[in-house]
Structure 1
Amino acid sequence: MLPVLGYWASQLRVGTARVESWLPHHSAAIAKYADFVKAFGDDQFLIISWPDCRLDDPRLVDLARLLESAAENNPSLAIEEVQNSLSAIESLANSDAGISPDEASRRLEGRAIGADGTCFLTLRLADADAASRGELLAMIQVSAERAGVPPNSLIMAGEPLQVSTIDRASRETVRYFVAPSSILALAVAFCCLRSVGLTLLVFVFAGIGQLLGLATISLFLGEMSAVLVVLPTLVFMLTLSAAIHLTSYYVEANRCGTACAGVAALRVGIKPCLLATLTTVFGFGSLAVSQLEPVWQFGCLAALGLILSTVVLLLCFPSASTVATLPLLSPKDRGLAGVGVSQSAEASQTTAPSLWKRKLAEWSKRHNLVVTLAGLSLLCFALLGIPQLRTSTEFEDMFPADSPAVSSLRWVQTHLGSIDTLEFVIKFPDPRGDLLERLRWLGALERKLASSEDVESTFSALSFLPQLPEAAGVRGTIQRAILRRTLADRSSELVAAGFLSHVNGGESWRISARMLELRSDTFEQIRDEVLALCQSHLDTSNLETQHPSIDVTGQRSVMETAHQVLLSDLGASFLAAFVLITPVMMLIVRSTICGLILMIPNTLPVAIVFGGMGWLGIRLDVASILTASVALGIAVDDTLHFMNWFTRCRQRGDPVEAAVLGAIDTCARPMLQTTIICTGAMLPFFLSQFLPTSKFALLMILTLSGAIVGDLLLLPAILHGPLGKFFSSPKVADSLRGSGHE
């Protein structure tokens, strides 16, 4: 099995899809953008420049020639067109439109030349894979150096660079953080087990789980996106935790001299392992409700990887523990009792709990009402912060501000202008009227857009055409006739430039508007304001017979749709996880009220983390929505263990105080160890320069740490208080006793 898994894992590629591929194809935003691309071509370019790049800089033309030569000699680079500021201005000035060089520079400001005179090159690219993008960027750097541009002065920005940068960050995450994550988790496991043999046993199963995670991605997708890079480590972490529980049962059985200790350990541990896997799979599976492709892919593949790794663990553990571990066990190992797990109920009767556990139990009893009310109040307050959550898939929010890619983007925004663009598509389904009248109407619309304080500059087909004649009489008639002939001659040029399209007998014109300060929290307001300007112009149109209509689209519109879906998916996935997991809790305790009560300490940490993000204005990214549902599924396991031992103590006749103390004494150590192992596995990813991965690791650590606080502080307080009476009914006690945890 290992060679097969290793082969599949080795075939895995790293690649990041464009944002428009995240959303379902039936999305209105995707459909509108697809129509736009079909009519006018892609609106994404790669921008290349350097400090003090001006029209008289010979390197501008030299680099353009080198890039054109590379495009001809290497079609795999997918370069469709190379343009530079000088050639664009000369082309417009030398056309028959009668435009002077100065007027050409003014018209092309923000499109082919910066407001401060900074010049640049633009590469229009066909869709290509990540490897081609990396090859392209390397070629550009070599060509720039040959043209005399120092490598440390080269500035690049645009969607192709962003995709390549994210791909590189994903590869670096796998290369530099997966191994430290595994080693640190292994070291924590060794500290818990204090045995080389036992540690190797759990590491082998955890490693198989990690390979299964990689293999499932390779088998079903073929490549691993930036969102999926933590999936194998997550499966590794969960498999390692389950293996430690089973290994602890094995040590306990071996200490007691039980024959076939591996089988005995499996008999005791199979039910809690399956329940833990079930709740965690529900947490993963809840992500399947997401409309974003990388999110539901993560949920489905993580659930599949965990199921497969659990099956392997349960099937192979008895023989593996006997064959691999027993020869390595020292007498000290054989004497380990309850290391890393809950001890047996009988042992808990004869072994006095440690001081800190007694203090914790006494404190929860003495302050049960205060702690319960504080927990519920904090839950309500945190929930009020969740509506304040904002999302972001901005490139500059994915990397530190001083990273080269973000610094280049800031430089471009300062010297060349904003690269955030809204594309306005004006359709004339019945363009049988006067073309000059349509152009005059389009010019007025463009001027109205340009007058908005949110618009930096506009660009359209009118930028390539002569000034529209306003004169009357014979002179005006002659000018209009000449212009009509010019338009007929240049129609194909406007189509090739991507500003005019003829589809199904209709006519579509494009106006590109570079926007100022277009962020997620202001996008809808700004878009609605400029659309209102367009609508007011449309309402006063004298072209009713041509039935013009206006749509707004572009890559930025697609990104903002993804933002909205991201936020709605967070609520939907968490609600799905809650709806799936809560009935499991209710069935286990056979009580609706008790099942809901048990969810309080599990939902509280998630609510605090995400509600706190809302109150503090910390933006959600794609990785963030994975955390809530996944952490809820993992956290429930600790609650099940705690309640199992609490109920067993109650069935022995212990009062509530003794039962809570017994549960804390039995469960605190393995619960803390599980959290420490999870933290150890996630901690290296927190150091990643790719901020979504770093944020995912931090949120996982905070949420799981909060779950421990909920289970060791809030849950004991609830059981000591009035709500604890619901768990003392014979029906609930019998159901929990029959669950057979640990």
Structure 2
Amino acid sequence: MIKWLTTSFWDFIASKILRNRIGLLVALVLFTLFMAFQWQKIRMTYTEANILPKDNDISMQYKLFLEKFGEEGNLIVIGFKDDAFFTEKNVRLWEEFINEIKKDKAVDLTLSISDLKVLKKDTLNQKFNLVPFVNNNQFSDAYLKEKKDELFNNLPFYESMLFNKESGAVRFAIYINKDIVNTSKRKEFVDKYLNEKRVEAFEKATGIDLKISGMPYIRTLNSQSILGEIGLFVGAALGITSLLFFFFFRSFRATFISMIIVIIAVMWSFGTIGLLNYEITVLTAIIPPLIIVIGIPNCIFLINKYQQEIKKHGNKAKSLQRVISRVGNATLMTNLTTAAGFATFIITDSDLLKEFGIIASLNIIFLFFLSLIIIPILYSYMPLPKDKHLAHLEKNYIQFFIDWILVTIKKKTIAIYSVAIGLLVFGIIGITQMRISGSVIEDMPKNTGFFEDIRFYEKEFDGVMPLEIMIDTKRPKGALKSATLKRINELQETIEEIPELSKPVSLVNLLKYAKQTYYNGNPEYYELPTKQEEAFILSYIKNSTGKGKENLLKSYIDSTGQFVRITTFMRDIGTDKMKHTEERLAQKIEKLFPKERYDVAITGKAYIFEKGTHYLVHNLVISLLFAIFLISLLMAYLFRSFKMIIISLLPNILPLIITAGLMGFLGVPIKPSTILVFSIAFGISVDDTIHFLAKYRQELIANNWRIKKSVYNTVKDAGVSMLYTSVVLFFGFSVFTLSSFGGTIALGGLVATTLLFAMLSNLIFLPALLLSLERSIANEQEFTEPTIDILAEDKEEIETENE
């Protein structure tokens, strides 16, 4: 096998970097400007996360639904629970508020008090007419009270759609143009008409607390929250990592150099998003601060190595050359393993995760080159570090921590294994209690007004997340057949019995309303027409014309009459309840709609997201296993020993099991955000293992294969950098707990916790394994010459150490 990453190779790289300092710096500046220019291509996502692959059956059904009925998530609702609305003053103020919205071309239809239409029978022409519910010229407190009573008592068609008869809550609807729902114009519409200032002005004038919701509104404010947090994360990550870095090194120049590297890396990460024409999503938004957190450990290892070299011999040129040639391999390998943890997301069929994996893995490799080039070049122009800059290498608290580790692994081997086994059992038990969450709104910011409004609509109208049932009758006009209508009606009765779902709306509701109107508006006749009544009621509907009628019909049935939809809304329910609800609906559908005569599909955004979550969890488990396999191959390539592969994996898999157990016991569900934790943490934690084992092999050779001495020396030497990097990573990932998004909080907290466990595992459990298995691994056969000299040292130095 060709050893392309030999010491001589890195000596060559070191000489090239140090001899071409000006050219490399100019190249970096030019490339940074190029990446900054790509920022203008960056755009915010205006669609939901595309989790399911496009060729998935559920995705195909949803696509067919959109082709037949258009975007279903175009409804914005504005509601309240206040009797004070039905007064002349407040209704007129409301009309001023809503009229400006109605005039906008982005609005297809509104359902408000003044434009609410009701059916009236025209006996002479044998048709139904849509007439205004109220006369704007007759507004008075008494008139509006009368109209409110009529709405609540005589118009069951609008019950649950526009009002809650039991609580008195009312909501009006704005249907925005389906062509702008997934574009930036949606944001412009919301910002213009439903901004905080305009809403507060209405509330102050009327004393009514407006509740605004609906998918377009939720998605817009959610996107704004994501965008707003990028600056928070970047600033917080820079702040905490720079403070920690300065605390460890007590050097402004070291801190300054590190900050330059991560700031450039952040610029490149934004540039990568623009260059690849990707969008800012809830995942890509965390990449810039993620790059800061991951980039600092690179700086710690390289600067620590430089200072150690200076302390040894005081030769700047030799120290800079060794920073590149002696730890270049180690830094490359650790960055590759970290990148591999993210790159495994690319094998999933989710566009959202693929983009996240591509951008993250690319920029981690960029970090390696930035660190390896900038640190030696900038230090080459600076004076030698002073004694105070090197004092951190012998800090008392560092020495205390290392001494504690040494005492533990020397004298408490049984305790180490007992704790490890106990934690393993704890983790396995916790894993059995883990649950999967497919909630659309669970991760949304809970301290925002729009989230409180979602809860209002869940309580009063059973949710705002649309759930659709599309029925293909397999023949034109089949949806209007009496048998089909009766089946739809029976299915709707089942939906009404399910507490997690709202009252459904379909063509059946319209026919019931038509029958009520035919019988002079008597609400007792709000029911499906009998077979005998269908002929003359349908003839009335057929004779009816006008835009209003078209708007009503096209919402429920396609132009051919073959496809019909049932629309309901779903509360934010757990996955278990969702599964039970789906099973109940599926059983009823199977009974009512024989497959040889009908094709029935459950779809809608809420359903797609729930199914996508399960699909994602399955794929991410595969990606985690692939990450373990990939990194195992890398370990095999580095150490060429099966036993060393096992030894290197155990200290990194144990923290994953512990974290999974904690999730189970604390009730943190498996969802797209939390399942990312394991691949990310595994890829990062393996870095410490590589550094430790590479140094261990070096110590074995230097100490004539004396195991104990080699392990203790490795802990002393590698322990400092491992402690520094782990502390930085812990607090760096903890920055994400500042988020208002539950998923981002969970991601940050869980990765930080896992990495803390991983540090202790690599500094305590890994040395204990090496000491316990010394008879079987402490020989030259198990440590044959590696394919890559990770921490190469020259023979002269080894001989000096032996003396």
Tell me the TM-score range normalised by the shorter chain.
0.7 to 0.9
- Change in Cα spacing, 1:338 to 1:32, as seen in structure 2 (3 Å) is same
Give the TM-score taking structure 1 as reference length. Answer: 0.87
Identify the residue that residue 4 of structure 1 maps to in structure 2. Answer: 33
**Aligned counterpart in structure 1 of residue 118 of structure 2, from 84, 91, 102:** 91
Q: Which residue of 1 aligns with 2:86?
A: 56
Task: Name the SS of the counterpart of 1:112 in structure 2.
Answer: coil
User: 1:218 matched to which residue of 2?
Assistant: 274
Gaps of 5+ in 1: 341-350
* Deviation readout 1:684-703 (Å, 9 max, x if unpaired): 33222222222222112111
* 1:257 counterpart residue number: 314
Residue-by-residue CA offset, 1:300-330 (whole Å, 9 max, x unaligned): 101111112212332344322202xx23743
Contact 1:43 1:554 (C-alpha < 8 Å) held by counterparts = yes
In 1, Cα distance between the equivalents of 2:572 and 2:743? 22
CA–CA separation in structure 2 for the residues paired with 1:490 and 1:388 = 58
When residues 724 and 611 of structure 1 are mapped into structure 2, their CA distance, relative to the original with a 3 A threshold, is farther
Residue 405, structure 1, aligned to residue 450, structure 2: yes
| Structure 1 residue corresponding to 2:481, chosen from 405, 420, 435 | 435
Distance (Å, rounded) in 2 between the aligned partners of 1:318 and 1:399: 44
Q: 1:94 to 1:690 in 2, by over 3 A?
A: farther
Q: 1:200 corresponds to which residue?
A: 256
**Does residue 1:69 correspond to 2:97, yes or no?**
no
Superposed displacement of residue 408, structure 1: 1.2
Report Cα offsets for 1:117-157 as digits up to 9, x if no partner: 32222122231435742551442245545656669822111
Contact 2:51 2:613 in 1 (8 A): no
- 1:442 Cα deviation from its structure 2 partner: 3.0
Verify: 1:485 aligned to 2:519, yes or no.
Answer: no
Could you tell me which runs of 5 or more consecutive residues in structure 2 were left unpaired when the two chains were aligned. Answer: 1-27, 131-149, 520-524, 793-803
Aligned to 1:347: none
Cα separation, partners in 2 of 1:445 and 1:236, compared to 1, 3 Å: closer
Question: What SS does the corresponding residue of 2:567 show, helix, strand or coil?
Answer: strand
Contact 1:594 1:726 (8 Å CA) reproduced: no
Structure 2 residue identity aligned to 1:124: Y
Other structure's SS at 2:562 match: strand
Point out the more displaced range, 712-721 or 5-14.
5-14
Q: Which position in structure 2 is the counterpart of 1:19?
A: 48
Question: Aligned pair 1:450/2:496, yes or no?
Answer: yes
- 1:221 and 1:94 map into 2 onto residues whose CA distance is 56
Q: Hey, what's the Cα distance between the residues in 2 that align with 1:640 and 1:181?
A: 25
Q: Given that residues 193 and 339 in structure 1 are in contact (C-alpha distance below 8 angstroms), is that contact kept between their aligned partners in structure 2?
A: no
| More divergent stretch after superposition (691-700 vs 703-712) | 691-700
For residue 106 of structure 1, what is the aligned residue in structure 2? 156
| Backbone CA RMSD of aligned residues | 3.4
2:364 matches 1:306: yes
Aligned equivalent of 1:639, options 662, 671, 689: 689
Task: Return the alpha-carbon distance in structure 1 between the equivalents of residues 200 and 299 of structure 2.
Answer: 54
Deviation at 1:380, TM superposition (A): 5.2
Asked if 1:656 corresponds to 2:707, the answer is yes
Counterpart in the other structure of 1:508? 563
Range with bigger deviation, 222-231 or 15-24: 15-24
State the shift of 1:162 in Å.
1.9
Matched, 1:39 2:76: no
Q: Report deviation, 1:594.
A: 1.9
* Residue aligning to 2:469: 424
1:527 shift after superposition: 0.8
Q: CA deviation at 1:656?
A: 2.9
Query: Do the aligned partners of residues 104 and 295 (structure 1) sit closer, same or farther apart at CA in structure 2, a change above 3 Å counting?
Result: farther
**Paired residue secondary structure (2:170):** coil
Return the alpha-carbon distance in structure 2 between the equivalents of residues 195 and 322 of structure 1: 16
Q: What's the offset of the Cα at 1:672?
A: 0.8
Question: 2-side partners of 1:154 and 1:601: how far apart?
Answer: 54
Alignment match of 1:154 (pick from 210, 227, 231) = 210
SS state at 2:568 partner: strand
Which of 211, 214, 233 is 1:177 aligned to?
233
- Percent identity, aligned pairs only, is 19
**CA distance in structure 2 between the partners assigned to 1:585 and 1:322 by the alignment:** 34
Letter of the 1:37 partner, please give it.
Answer: L
Deviations 1:551-604 (A, max 9, x none): 211111111112212321331221111011011112222112320221011111
Which amino acid is the alignment partner of residue 304 of structure 1? Answer: L
Match of 1:407, as an amino acid?
A: E
Kept in 2: contact 1:93–1:101 (CA 8 A): no
Deviations 1:484-509 (A, max 9, x none): 31242359866633444346x56112
* CA drift at 1:56: 2.7
* In 1: Cα distance, 2:198 partner to 2:369 partner: 54
The one-letter amino acid paired with 1:614 is G
- Of residues 623, 631, 634, the one that matches 1:573 is 623
Q: What's the offset of the Cα at 1:274?
A: 0.8
Q: Which residue of 2 aligns with 1:593?
A: 643
**Is the deviation greater in 54-63 or in 520-529?**
54-63
Q: Contact 2:51 / 2:351 at 8 angstroms: preserved in 1?
A: yes
Tell me how far 1:714 sits from its aligned partner: 1.1
Higher mean alpha-carbon deviation, 78-87 vs 520-529, is at 78-87
1:257, distance to aligned residue in structure 2 (A): 3.0
Q: Distance in 2 between matches of 1:138 and 1:168?
A: 14
Contact 1:389 1:618 (C-alpha < 8 Å) held by counterparts: yes
- CA drift at 1:16: 3.7
189-198 or 413-422, which deviates more = 413-422
- Residue 371 in structure 1 maps to residue 416 in structure 2: yes
Q: Match of 1:558?
A: 608
TM superposition shift of 1:222: 4.9
Separation in 1, partners of 2:748, 2:226: 14
Please identify, of 245-254 and 261-270, the stretch whose mean Cα deviation from structure 2 is larger.
245-254
Q: Which moved more, 1:41-50 or 1:442-451?
A: 442-451
The alignment partner of 1:91 has SS state of strand
What code does the residue aligned with 2:72 have? Answer: D
Q: How many residues align?
A: 714
Cα shift at 1:216: 0.9
Q: Is the 8 A contact 1:84 1:119 kept in 2?
A: no
Q: Deviations over 1:180-228 (max 9, x none)?
A: 2102211211122222222222221222222211211122135322212
Alignment-mate amino acid for residue 364 of structure 1? I
Q: Secondary structure of 2:663's match?
A: helix
2-side partners of 1:694 and 1:454: how far apart?
Answer: 27
Q: Deviations over 1:251-284 (max 9, x none)?
A: 2333313334322211111110111111111111
Contact 1:288-1:295 within 8 A present in 2 as well: yes
1:714 matched to which residue of 2? 765
**Which residue of structure 2 aligns with residue 671 of structure 1?**
722
2:301 is the alignment partner of 1:245: yes
Equivalent residue runs for 1:287-302 within 5 Å: 287-302=345-360
Counterparts of 1:339-378 in structure 2, within 5 Å, are: 354=399, 356-376=401-421, 378=423
- Alpha-carbon separation, structure 2, partners of 1:339 and 1:163: 53
Change (3 A) 1:432 1:167: closer
Q: Residue type matched to 1:553 in 2?
A: T
Pair 1:167-2:223 in alignment? yes
Q: Does the CA-based 8 Å contact 2:309-2:319 persist in structure 1? A: yes
Equivalents in 1 of 2:689, 2:549: separation in Å?
Answer: 66
2:404 and 2:384 map into 1 onto residues whose CA distance is 38
- Pair 1:737–1:644, CA change in 2 (3 A): farther
- Check 1:134–1:683 CA distance in 2 against 1; reply closer, same or farther (3 A cut): farther
What are the Cα deviations for residues 529-550 of structure 1, in whole angstroms up to 9, with x where unaligned? 12211222235x9xx8xx2332
Q: Is the 8 A contact 1:586 1:596 kept in 2?
A: no
22-31 vs 475-484, which moves further: 475-484
Superposed counterparts of 1:118-133, under 5 Å? 118-125=169-176, 126=178, 127-130=181-184, 132-133=186-187
Distance of 2:530 and 2:183 partners within structure 1: 53
Residue 653 of structure 1: SS of its match in structure 2?
coil
TM-score by length of 2: 0.81
Cα distance in 2 for residues equivalent to 1:34 and 1:48: 28
Q: Give the C-alpha shift of residue 385 in structure 1.
A: 3.8
Rounded Cα–Cα distance in structure 2 between residues aligned with 1:478 and 1:589: 84
